[in-house]
Amino acid sequence: MAPSDAEFNKRLLKTFRIEAEEHIQTVTNGLIELEKSPALERCTQLVETMFREVHSLKGAARSVNLREFEQVCQPLETVFSRIKLQKFALEPGLFDLLHRVIDFLGGLIATLEEKRTPAQRATQKELIAQLEVFAKNDSDTPAVTKSEVVFNSPQDSYVKPEVIDSRPQLKEPSSGQTIRISVDKLDSLLFQAEEMIQTKVTNQQMVMELREIKNTLASYSLNSRQWKTMKNAPKANEHDEFVNWCETHLDALHARIDAISRAAEQDFRVMRRIVDDHLESMKEVLMLPAASLTETFPKIIRDLSQQQGKEIDLVITGDDIEIDRRILEELKDPFIHLMRNCTDHGIEKPERRKELNKPA
C-alpha cells in the first residue's frame, strides 16, 4: 500500500471512530432509558432511533471495510427491527445481551488498528449466535400486539448472565483528541477573522501613507542640504520660494500625521475589541456541556447495579451547563470514583432493605 493510501485509510478510520462512538453512545442511552419502561409512544421512538443508529453504524463500517464490525451490526439491526415490529417482549435477558453487544462494539472501536485476539473472535461469534436466536426464531416467538408488549423491570425474573469480558482492554487516549463545536461558535470566530482582514487592509494603507511621509521628509532634507551648500547667497525670491515650499509641505505633513494618528487610535480600539472577543470566543470553543461528561454515567451505574444486584435510579440535572473541557476531563475520574463508592457503600441490596423495613 502506497504511503498516500495508508494515510488516507488512517484518516478514514479516524472519521469512522468519531461517528461510530456517537452511534454507540446514542444506542447505549436509548437502552438505558428503555429499561426504565417509559410510555409506549416514547418506547416506539427509542426503538426507532436505535434501529436507525445501528443501521448507520453498519453502513459506516462497510464504507471503511470493517467486516467484523458489519458482521455484528447485521443481526443487531435485525433484532431492533423485530423489536420495532413487536415480535417479542423486552426482557432483562435481552437487555443484557444488547448491552454486551454494544460494549463489544465499543471495544472494537477503541482498538481499530489492532488485530483481533482469539478471545475476541470467540466472543464475537458467541454474541452473533445469541443475536441470531432473536433475529431468526419466528416460530417460537410469535408476534404480539401492542397491548401485549411487556417492558419488564430489571428485578422481575432476572437471571444474571455469565459474565464475559466482551470489551477489549482500552488504550490510553491519543493525543489527537477531537471535539464537536457548534456552528454558532464557528460563525462567531469566522466573523472575527473577517474583521481582522479589514483591520489588516487599513494598516496596510497606513504603512503606505507613512512611506509617502518618509519620502517627503527625505525630499525636504535634500533641499535643505542643497540650500546650505550654495556658494552664493540665494536671491530673495528663491528664499521666499523655499520657505513657502517648506511651510506648505510641513502643513500637509502635519495634517497627514494627525489623520494617521487618529486612524491608528481608532484601529487600536477596534483591534483591542476584536482580540478580546476572539479570546472570549476561543474560551467558549473549549466550553462543552456537562452532558459530554455525564452521558456515560447511566451505563456505568447500570453495570455496577447489575454486578452487585442493587437497584439504582440515577437522576442527572444541569447537564446542559457548559464547562471548560479541561475541567471536565479532570472531573471524570473523581465522578466515577464517587459513583463506585456510592454503589459499594451507600446503597443496600433489596433484601437488606427489607430486613431493615426500608422501601425496597
Cβ neighbours around 243 below 10 Å, total: 10
**From CA 176, how far away is CA 77, in angstroms rounded?**
31
- Find, among 42, 98, 105, the residue nearest to 71 by Cα: 105
Give every CB contact of residue 138 below 8 A, 6+ residues apart in sequence: 87
Model pLDDT, residue 126? 93
> Per-block average pLDDT, block size 10, for the chain (360 residues)?
69 88 93 89 92 94 89 93 83 91 91 84 92 72 38 36 40 51 75 78 80 78 64 59 72 81 82 82 82 89 90 89 88 92 90 82
Q: What sign has the CA pseudo-torsion 320, 324, 326, 332?
A: negative
The cell for 46 is 427509542
What is the amino acid identity at position 204?
A: Q
Model pLDDT, residue 159? 37
Q: Quote the pTM value.
A: 0.63
Tell me if residue 242 falls in helix, strand or coil. Answer: helix
Tell me if residue 278 falls in helix, strand or coil. Answer: helix
Q: Are 17 and 112 in contact (CB under 8 A)?
A: yes
Angle at 148 between CA 144 and CA 154, to 5 degrees: 110
Model pLDDT, residue 147? 35
Model pLDDT, residue 70? 92
- CA of 118: how far to CAs of 53, 105, 121, 165, 187, in Å? 28, 16, 5, 13, 49
Model pLDDT, residue 24? 94
